[in-house]
Chain A
Amino acid sequence: MQLELINATIRHPGANNAAPALHELTLQVTAGEQIALIGPSGAGKTTLLHTLACAIRPHDGDYLAFGIDPWQMNDAARHALRKRLFLAPQTPPLPPRQRVVTAVLAARLPQWSLWRAFASLIKPSDPRAAFDALARFQLEDKLYARVDRLSGGERQRCGMARLLVSTAELFLVDEPLSALDPTLALATLAVLQEEAATRKATLICSLHQVELARRHFPRIVGLRDGRIVFDTRSDALTDAMIANLYAGREAATPAPPDLTPAATVPDVPCF
């Protein structure tokens, strides 16, 4: 058993009195599985991914990652655990003024010493690796371009390229296809799944495109209002179950990700 959530209740960080984001969730994931997470907006998919990434502590219940309880460890040990996973947020976390090569190679930071990281800023330490990763998404000519010169979809795929360069054995991916057209979405998903299979890594991917999830993932988990509605093999998934999941809510239209560049730094007052 690689990951195990046992009756976990999770609150939004800092909102200790509000209603929990996830209620009494139980989930078991074996190593190497590929799972799609679906559900209407606000169901808690992002919160679940963050919890699995040891970024939010469960308020109640337990979470075991790689067989250990990360919240019983001290800060340093828990941080070492994080090197084994990769959380890719929906909005690609790439600084606008950075070059793509540096942004992608940032995946190696958990393994690099401070000096190597600093030196790589000046002269990228392994541009070939970044190049190969970008080439798998047909972005190889953007290697030395600046992130803010890319379109939204290109930036999203760069975020995925960073995942390819990392050495994680657990991929937690939040809506990687929201800014991509159907052809590109299909191709990107194929690369992701291919990489997970080659590395024998676990892939948990939240998606709005239900049909894609159904056709390409062996296991589907449906979330609604912070609870797991179903957790089945995709061939056992019926249309009725899907309709029930999204009943009364907006259909499976993806919310566009926030791909606006970061706010500019305010003027520093003069002496």
Chain B
Amino acid sequence: MTNESNIAAKAMPPVPPLRYSTVALLVGLAALVVASFATLRLDWQPFFTREALASMSEFIHGFAPPEMAPRFLRKVGVATMETLSMSGLGTIIAAALGTALALPASGRFGKALRLPTRMLLNFLRSIPELVWASVLVIAAGLGPFPGTLALAAHTTGVLGRLFADALENVPPLAESTLRTNGARPLAVFLYGTLPQTAPQMMSYTLYRWENNIRAAAILGVVGAGGLGQMLKYFLSLFQMQQAATVIMAMLLLVALVDGISFWLRRVMMD
């Protein structure tokens, strides 16, 4: 081993230079953050002055105790059913349409159709459910129906893209064998491709349903029925106790759906 005097005489290797682009990027990010806070001129007053804290705690106290009268609970129950149905139906429709659109989007009807279909799916999923609901309320009126359609539209985009990717990644052996043996394209799809991708597609669908129940709960804010519409109504009338019950119902519903989805996953994946 080299001894001390040899080491003291050694020169250290040069420090590797810092990449200019990384520094520029970090500076840019910092500038973005600073500019955001500066232009927004956030109003900290409502939260941090003494009067504000007092009025906030008064506001929060207004929520308790949550309204529990049986008649009211029945109304909440109906709204919960509406929300649950919106999410369920919307997801089912989206799964069907998504599968249908996934076929051209994965190139099975030719290369020409692939890109336009993918763009359509992108468009469908870029627009949030709430915006869809706002627009569809014009055509379908108020109530849960436009909510269902909005969920279906957005989720078709999401599931269509996921399904298309899954179809593109499926090992081609089963398909090509059936095709070589003369089966028709639809049969090839049903017997060769679908069995392989079905578990994954099912998993995506269940996962989107969990997401959609959260979305469905709030779509009512723009008039699309369900618990969201109730919440907005009671908040605008400053009836906090009723609003508290509705929020609790939302949380319970989300927990319920998460649980059912988890169980369904276990049952179907075995």
Contact = CB atoms under 8 A, between A and B. Distances in A.
- Direct touching of A and B (C-beta under 8 Å): yes
Interface of A: 127-128, 131-132, 135-138, 140-141, 143-144, 187, 190-191, 271
B15 interface: yes
A128 to B, nearest CB: 7
Interface of B: 1-2, 7-8, 10, 12-13, 15-16, 211
B1 A128 contact: no
Contact of A143 (B1, B2, B12, B211): B12
A91 to B, nearest CB: 24
Contact of B13 (A132, A144, A187, A271): A144
23 contacts: A127-B12, A127-B15, A128-B12, A131-B12, A132-B8, A135-B2, A135-B7, A135-B10, A136-B2, A137-B1, A138-B2, A140-B10, A140-B12, A140-B13, A141-B13, A143-B12, A143-B13, A144-B13, A144-B15, A144-B16, A187-B1, A190-B1, A271-B211
Contacts of A128: 12
A119 to B, nearest CB: 15
A127 B15 CA distance: 10
Chain A CB within 10 Å, residue with most, of B8, B13, B15, B16: B13
The dominant DSSP class at the A interface is helix
A86 to B, nearest CB: 20
Nearest to A190: B1
A187 B8 CA distance: 19
B10 A136 contact: no
A131 B6 CA distance: 13
Nearest to B16: A144
Nearest to A194: B1
A191 B7 CA distance: 13
A135 B10 CA distance: 9
A174 B211 CA distance: 50
A38 B8 CA distance: 36
Contacts of B13: 140-141, 143-144
B12 A138 contact: no
Given A144-B15, A144-B16, A191 B10 contact: no
A143 B75 CA distance: 70
Contacts of A136: 1-2, 7
Nearest to B162: A270
A140 B16 CA distance: 15
